[in-house]
C-alpha cells in the first residue's frame, strides 16, 4: 500500500475506534473499582501540580528568553549566587513532595490490603495464554484456560478487524459485581503480568512464586486488559477479559460450569 493509502486506512480505523469505544483516549480508562478511582484522582492531582510548576518555571524561562536578549540591548548582570534563593528552592519542593506523598501513601496501604476476599482466583501465565483456577468462594473448583479469540486472518489483514481486536478471549473470567475478588498470580514459564486498567490492577505473574492483588468491581460490564510483561513471541496476543455480572447471573454461570464439568467427567 502506498503512503496515502495507509494514511487513509489509519484515518478509517480512527473513525471505527471513535465510535466503538466510549473510553477516553487521553487519560486513564474510566475506573470501575475504588482502587482505580483513587489512582485516577491521584494522577489528576499530580498532573495539576506538575502543570502549575511547569507554567511557573517556564513562564520565567521564556520571559527571560524574550526579554533578556542581546538583540534587545540587554546588558548582562553579574550575580551568580544567592544563598537565600538557593535554600528556598530546595526547601519548597520538599513540601510539595510531601503533599504528593501523603495521598499516595494512603492509596498504597489500601491497595495492598488483600485480606478477607469473597472469591479467590489464581491466574497462571503461560506462553501465551492465561489459566484460571477458582480457589475459594462461590465457584470453587472451576478452572479453565483463556486464549485469544481474534482470528489469525484479522491479524494478517486478510479480514476486517473486529471491534475488540486483540482484546477478546474464548473463555473470559466471570466475577460477581460488588464482591472482593483476590487474584493470585503465578506463571509456568516466564514472567507475565496481569493487568485490567479499569480495575487499577496490575500484578506480575512470576514462575515459582505467588503474588496477589484484589479488586471489587462496582459496575457490571466487560473489562479488557493485556499481559504487560514481555513474555516472548506472542506477548501482544494474550489478552484478559473479565465479565462483571450480577450475583444471580454469576450463580447461573457457576452452575453451568459445574454441570459441564460433571458431564465431561461422566463421559
Partner 1 sequence: MAAVTPDHLHDHHHGPSGLMRWITTTNHKDIGTMYLLFSFIMFLSGGVMALTIRAELFQPGLQVVEPEFFNQLTTMHGLVMVFGAIMPAFVGFANWMLPLMIGASDMAFARMNNWSFWLLPVAAVMLIGSFFVPGGATAAGWTLYPPLSVQMGMGMDLAIFAVHIMGISSIMGAINIVVTILNMRAPGMTLMKMPLFCWTWLITAYLLIAVMPVLAGAVTMILTDRHFGTSFFNAAGGGDPVLFQHIFWFFGHPEVYIMILPAFGIVSQIIPTFARKPLFGYASMVYATASIAVLSFVVWAHHMFATGMPAQGQLFFMYATMLIAVPTGVKVFNWIATMWRGSMTFETPMLWSVGFIFVFTLGGFTGLICAIAPVDIQLHDTYYVVAHFHYVLVAGSLFALFAGAYYWLPKWTGHMPNETIGKLHFWCSMVFFNITFFPMHFLGLAGMPRRIPDYALQFADFNALATVGAFGFGLSQLIFIVVVVKCVRGGEKAAARSWEDADGLEWTVPSPAPHHTFEVAPVFK
Q: Supply the minimum distance, in Å, between the C-beta of residue 217 and partner 1.
A: 16
Of 118-126, 169-177, 201-209, 244-252, which segment contacts partner 1 by CB under 8 A? Answer: 201-209
Sign of CA dihedral 159, 227, 229, 133: negative
Which strands, in side-by-side order, build the sheet including 192-196?
Answer: 173-176, 240-245, 221-227, 192-196, 201-205
Beta bridge partner(s), residue 174 = 243
For partner 1, which residue of 57, 255, 259, 262 counts as binding (CB under 8 A)? Answer: 57
Total length of the chain: 267
For partner 1, which residue of 142, 181, 227, 254 counts as binding (CB under 8 A)? Answer: 227
The grid cell for 61 is: 524561562
Q: Which is nearer to partner 1, 51 or 255 (CB)?
A: 51
Q: Supply the minimum distance, in Å, between the C-beta of residue 245 and partner 1.
A: 22
The grid cell for 48 is: 495539576
For partner 1, which residue of 123, 142, 167, 254 counts as binding (CB under 8 A)? Answer: 167
Of 78-86, 136-144, 245-253, 254-262, which segment contacts partner 1 by CB under 8 A? Answer: 78-86
* Among the listed residues 42, 250, 221, 241, the one whose alpha carbon sits nearest the alpha carbon of residue 138: 250
Pairing label, strands 181-187, 119-126: parallel
For partner 1, which residue of 17, 34, 171, 251 counts as binding (CB under 8 A)? Answer: 17
Of 139-147, 149-157, 173-181, 253-261, which segment contacts partner 1 by CB under 8 A? Answer: 149-157
To which H or E segment does residue 23 belong? none
Which residues, numbered 118-147, are part of the site for partner 1 (CB under 8 A)?
none
Q: Supply the minimum distance, in Å, between the C-beta of residue 65 and partner 1.
A: 7
Q: How far is residue 25's CA from residue 228's CA, in Å, rounded to a whole number? A: 19
For partner 1, which residue of 193, 214, 253, 254 counts as binding (CB under 8 A)? Answer: 193
Amino acid at each position: 500500500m502506498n503512503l496515502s493509502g495507509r494514511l487513509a486506512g489509519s484515518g478509517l480505523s480512527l473513525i471505527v475506534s471513535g465510535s466503538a469505544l466510549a473510553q477516553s483516549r487521553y487519560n486513564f480508562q474510566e475506573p470501575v473499582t475504588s482502587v482505580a478511582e483513587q489512582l485516577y484522582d491521584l494522577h489528576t492531582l499530580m498532573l495539576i501540580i506538575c502543570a502549575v510548576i511547569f507554567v511557573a518555571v517556564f513562564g520565567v524561562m521564556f520571559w527571560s528568553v524574550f526579554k533578556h536578549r542581546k538583540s534587545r540591548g540587554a546588558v548582562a548582570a553579574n550575580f551568580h549566587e544567592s544563598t537565600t534563593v538557593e535554600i528556598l528552592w530546595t526547601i519548597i519542593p520538599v513540601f510539595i513532595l510531601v503533599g504528593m506523598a501523603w495521598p499516595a501513601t494512603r492509596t498504597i496501604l489500601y491497595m495492598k490490603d488483600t485480606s478477607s476476599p469473597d472469591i479467590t482466583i489464581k491466574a497462571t501465565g503461560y506462553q501465551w495464554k492465561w489459566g484460571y483456577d477458582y480457589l475459594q468462594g462461590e465457584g470453587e473448583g472451576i478452572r479453565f484456560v483463556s486464549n485469544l479469540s481474534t482470528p489469525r486472518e484479522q491479524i494478517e489483514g486478510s479480514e476486517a478487524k473486529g471491534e475488540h481486536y486483540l482484546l477478546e478471549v474464548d473463555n473470559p473470567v466471570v466475577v460477581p459485581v460488588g464482591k472482593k475478588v483476590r487474584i493470585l498470580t503465578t506463571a509456568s514459564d516466564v514472567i507475565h503480568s496481569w493487568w485490567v486498567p479499569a480495575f487499577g490492577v496490575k500484578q506480575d505473574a512470576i514462575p515459582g512464586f505467588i503474588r496477589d492483588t484484589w479488586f471489587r468491581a462496582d459496575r457490571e460490564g466487560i473489562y479488557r486488559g493485556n499481559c504487560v510483561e514481555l513474555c516472548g513471541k506472542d506477548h501482544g496476543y494474550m489478552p484478559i477479559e473479565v465479565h462483571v455480572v450480577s450475583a444471580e447471573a454469576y450463580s447461573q454461570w457457576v452452575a453451568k460450569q459445574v454441570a459441564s464439568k460433571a458431564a465431561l467427567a461422566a463421559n
